[in-house]
Amino acid sequence: MVRGALLLGAVLLASGGSARAADDEPAIPGSDSRAAFLRAAHSRVHATWGSFLRNSRDRLPATDPVNRGDRSVTVAVTLIPDGTVMQAIVEKSSGSQQFDAAALDLFQDTILPQPSEEAFSDDGRAHLRWVFARDTRQCSGVTVVTRESPLDEALPRLLEYGKDREALRRVRLAAVTAQDTALGMLARAWLGRALELTVQSLPAAIGLASVDDTRGVGILREALARGERVPEVTAALVRLKMIPPPAQPPAAPERPAERMATEVLVRQLRAADLTTRVEAAAVLSGRSDGAARQAMAALVRSPDPELRLFGAGTLDRRARATLFADVGPAGRAAYRTLVRGPGRTLAGEWLVSQFDTLTPSAQVAALSDWLWNSREASPITLSVR
């Protein structure tokens, strides 16, 4: 047993583990539940650490290494949900083995207050970084360290515990550099959870089938027997190789607008029928000639939300974000068209920014669309769908 451990034991016997908090010790900042937890945890060790500092000062020579004024040690502490200390290790030594050991002794067979929900990391534990100092900081330097798992591991766990907002925050961060991957991970996790919800189970099963996920096979078979959403369910079961493909898979419907000249399509943008305008915008969004680009740029001022979303590709990132917020959930129809063609990146940006404004059924449908139009989806089953 090292000297620090013996010294701390003597302190506890002499002081009974009690000591008044120093008036000049910094307060732990914050007003949220995480800060409240840190203050409660601090109160469990402060008296003992204060006694150690006072008694080592009074009972040891001023020249003893433990009494050096700039001495501090950083301890990494890991807690399980009930507050039990599972591990306490020195992260940054004070340079004195005795001083370090005294800090570690604080956590021997210790139970701290139950951590707040916000204090837990993805591994279901709370991780603290705690500085124990010889100076006026004493033991007030405690913070929560958040440890995040890789996105594909974290998302199912976050959604299981209802942390949807945190899940979306991480997806948005990841989507900046890897949009297709981030949204694909979100879709798998979100639709997997939706399988348990009666209203959303069928569209979730259809979406998951597009990436060879068989968890919804039973739901798909039951829907086919009922004659519900037959084309989509058939495509899903074909994709999963649960039924043979049709002898002659139906070809994807041809859009006459694709054969029209740009000038004709531009005129159709002013048609009375919204369906015609959307079809024209969808085709123009894939063309690069000057007239097409000019027409798309003009759409950002359209009174029709669907058409404004088509024009968003002509704006910079900040302006697009503003437009997405203005369009909001009304961009759902345009998204379904954009996600299937050259506007997929733009569709993904809208989905990431506006996902939490959609209804639950629209969220599931949008993620299903994303998966079915990913590179993983089969062209044959896409044409069936």
pTM, two decimal places: 0.76
Residue 79 pairs with which residues in a beta bridge? 85, 126
Most confident range (mean pLDDT) of 16-30, 71-85, 305-319, 340-354 is 71-85
For the chain, domain boundaries: 3-145, 255-377+381-385
**Structure confidence by residue, pLDDT tens digits, 29-74:** 999 999 999 999 999 999 999 999 999 999 999 999 999 999 999 9
Class of domain 3-145: alpha beta
**Structure confidence by residue, pLDDT tens digits, 245-300:** 877 665 655 567 778 899 999 999 888 788 888 889 888 888 889 999 999 999 99
* DSSP class per residue in 5-74: HHHHHHHHHHHTT--PPPTTSPPPP--SHHHHHHHHHHHHHHHHHHHHHHHHHHHS-TTSGGG-TT-EEE
Residue 132 pairs with which residues in a beta bridge? 73
Q: What is the pLDDT of residue 250?
A: 58
Question: What does the CA dihedral 317, 318, 319, 320 come to, rounded to 10 degrees?
Answer: 50
Q: What is the pLDDT of residue 251?
A: 60
Residues 21 and 51: their CA atoms lie apart, in Å, by: 10
Question: What does the CA dihedral 36, 41, 42, 48 come to, rounded to 10 degrees?
Answer: 160
Average pLDDT, the chain: 88
Q: What is the pLDDT of residue 17?
A: 43
**Structure confidence by residue, pLDDT tens digits, 4-25:** 444 444 443 344 444 444 457 8
Sheet (strand 126-133) strand order: 85-92, 72-79, 126-133, 141-145
**Structure confidence by residue, pLDDT tens digits, 91-145:** 999 999 999 999 999 999 889 999 998 899 998 899 999 999 999 999 999 999 9
